[in-house]
Amino acid sequence: MDCETLSAKYKSYMPDGDVGLLEKAYLYSEEAHSAQKRASGEKYFIHCYAVADILLDYKLDLPTVCAALLHDVLEDTAISVEQFQKEFGEEITRLVQGVTKIEKFKFSSADEETAENWRKMLMAMAADLRVILIKLADRLHNMRTLEYLPRERQEAIAYETITLYAPLAQRLGMFALKAELEDLSFRAQHPQEFDDLSRQLESTQQHRLQILESFKAELEKHLAQHGIPHRVLARTKNAYSLYRKMKTQSRSFEDIQDSLGVRIITDSVADCYALLGFVHSYFKPVAGSFTDYIALPKMNLYQSLHTTVVSSTGNIVEVQIRTEEMHRTSEYGIAAHWRYKLGKAGRDAHFDEKINWLRHWIEWLQDLTSPREFLESLRTDMELQQVFIFTPKGEVKALPKGATPLDFAFMVHSEVGEHCFGAKIGGKMVPLDYELKSGDICDILTRKNSSPRPDWLKMVRTGRSRSKIRKYLREHGLGEEV
């Protein structure tokens, strides 16, 4: 654990970068925290180092890595904001202030305290998305060292992590980080189940790897005939995702069929579809398993073709097909787009467009005044189970599972939502709180004298819809109680 290691890691992806600021931040943080210890008895600075190291894995820019090293200086030491800003400038100070925990506020309930902390964090996020990347890395390292805290504290932190931080990491497309947060939370909350499942995974690991290697070899042999550039990677599910599937589907470990998978990475969208055709021509697809997230990306920018096939040995294998850029987004999520925005010549020209959904989402959440409703909307909007709904003209809109025609109306346009009085699905009238299903063709009926009512708040599921309804009710003095 030394500054040279961090500097070399940064230079590996930013060879022309000036590591002088990184070295300064390292020494400043080490000195500021020199008298502090963690619950494990280790020097506190080890935590700051680890957070920076995690963000270097995501190839983030220098101010973010420096802010990670310094993220607890303002909160945990006597150094003033003025002193700090003089040393490190406005940008790093702003990032550190965004990450700093909120301890000066007093709240009447745990719900209010949690909601207010998240509201403040999301506001900081709206100003600079790098704040949440530091916060997630901070939480990840704290989860890795959770065993040194009292049992009750472990369970509380694990619950918050799995209900809010892990879904947020997923919402940002940071799947590897999300999976580790889930597994660490699972271990803290259900240690016996975690140990049992880990033993099952370990005992079958060699067999599963043999199946995957055999399938990969057969797949490569077939695909090599077609001259399409590609590489094949193996994939296995994390422990928590298997546990959740076993619980929700009431199935045993042996019955979970899609725990094996491969990813095919290629050079273009056209080649993704070509490779899909070849995969299906050599291996029988499982009926109903194909999903096209390239034509219809997930809300967090994730794109890939998903299909499940039966191998020649009778094993079920999930196949994901994507381009190199899609794979980078899958691995690094929003961090990938931030990095490329900051790279030479602004390599990701569509960065602002790609993260626009996130800024809008944060704005909608800020409009919710009830702490309980704020947390409910936060959790709902972070779920990535989606339904795809069509307008009568054939346009498709992605909404969270459980969304209603009112959500769809506000997704089409604010005015459509405000003047909605009814909805038709497939030509038949349905209630405004009808639960939409993928493939539904939804026709929103409007009239000028129709307007939002307080009871609409009970009928919608998304933060966007709630925000628009509340705004209308406030502006027209109609109240918000439901």
d(CA 180, CA 238): 8
User: Any catalytic annotation for residue 138?
Assistant: no
The residues near 299 (Cβ < 8 Å, ≥ 6 apart) are 171, 357, 384, 386, 398
Q: Do 264 and 230 form a contact (C-beta atoms < 8 A)?
A: yes
- DSSP readout, 254-267? GG-GGGEEEEEEES
Query: What is the number of other CB atoms lying within 10 angstroms of the CB of residue 281?
Result: 10
Cβ-in-10-Å burial (0-12, 13-18, 19+) of 475 comes to exposed
| Residue 378 token pair | 């936060």
Q: From the candidates 30, 76, 331, 480, give the one annotated as an active-site residue.
A: 76
Q: From the candidates 75, 218, 367, 435, give the one annotated as an active-site residue.
A: 75
Q: Do 417 and 465 form a contact (C-beta atoms < 8 A)?
A: yes
Q: Do 438 and 388 form a contact (C-beta atoms < 8 A)?
A: yes
Q: Residue 405: which of 446, 435, 439 has the closest Cα?
A: 435
User: Any catalytic annotation for residue 75?
Assistant: yes
Q: Residue 52: which of 124, 120, 133 has the closest Cα?
A: 133
Q: Do 61 and 338 form a contact (C-beta atoms < 8 A)?
A: yes
Sheet architecture: strand order including 420-425? 428-430, 420-425, 442-446
Which residues participate in catalysis according to the annotation?
A: 75-76
